[in-house]
Structure 1
């Protein structure tokens, strides 16, 4: 794989903390295609002031598992603006675990928050 290919794949993460609050990549992509390990992910996130969590395939709706990274500050702001589940406030960790575990349909009430977190304008 060329460095340009790797940069293209990592583009989802490179925007986190800048113009989006959350990014993820399938665990298979991270480990098998990019050949990145947990130490690299931890270093990448620490340098940028980001959080991360690795979900195994039995912990997420992503078939191979997934690695989510997020900006605590940006995600907290978004969560504060969106009132979910009768105004119950989700922590950033609860939100990340929720979106990792469940595949949401387009008409789900959570989708506006999920789109905002991923900076998805569609």
Structure 2
């Protein structure tokens, strides 16, 4: 592998595990972890946990990602997003607890124009600064 490819992989890995107040949730499909990062799920989980994240692993039967996925999240930052959007989430019967929210987003695709989608985007850091 070239150093350029190695740098791209390191950057991908960094962007998915260095979570903060702007990006409190991230996920990678299991196939990406195995085939692109050349890591086992256990290695990726250990790496992400070592950076202070909580982890949720979903197989293909419990996730809307074909190969399954590993979600990393920072509860202390996700809690802020959920609290700030509690009315929206409650109105649509979405959970406001961190792990339950991650479980819900892993299992249900939302239409891009749905009100909850904006909350999901905020948690993933996909909103403009």
Give TM class, smaller chain.
0.7 to 0.9
Cross-structure match for 2:11:
8
Instruction: Measure, in 2, the Cα distance between the counterparts of 1:4 and 1:119.
Output: 22
Find the residue that maps to 1:58 and give its secondary structure: coil
Structure 1, gaps ≥5 residues long: none
Q: What are the within-5 Å matches in structure 2 for residues 100-115 of structure 1?
A: 100-115=106-121
Greater alpha carbon shift after TM alignment, 43-52 vs 11-20 = 11-20
CA distance in 1 between partners of 2:43 and 2:21 (Å): 20
TM-score of the aligned structures, taking structure 2 as reference length: 0.82
Matched-pair contact (CA < 8 Å) for 1:25–1:68: yes
Q: How has the CA–CA distance of structure 1 residues 64 and 87 changed in structure 2, closer, same or farther, with 3 Å as cutoff?
A: closer
The reply on whether 1:56 has 2:62 as its aligned counterpart is: no
Counterpart Cα distance in 2 of 1:28 and 1:52: 17
**Aligned partners of 2:125, 2:54: CA distance in 1, in Å?**
17
Alpha-carbon distance change, 66 to 87 in structure 1, aligned in 2, over 3 angstroms? closer
How much has 1:37 moved relative to structure 2? Answer: 2.1
TM-score, scaled relative to structure 1: 0.86
Partner of 1:25: 28
CA RMSD of aligned residues (A): 2.0
The total of aligned residue pairs comes to 122
Preserved contact between residue 17 and residue 72 of structure 2 (Cα < 8 Å): no
Question: Is this contact kept in 1: 2:54–2:72, CA < 8 A?
Answer: yes
Task: Give the Å deviation of 1:11.
Answer: 4.1
Structure 1 equivalent of residue 91 of structure 2: 86
| Corresponding residue for residue 40 of structure 2 | 37
* Residue number in structure 2 paired with 1:98: 104
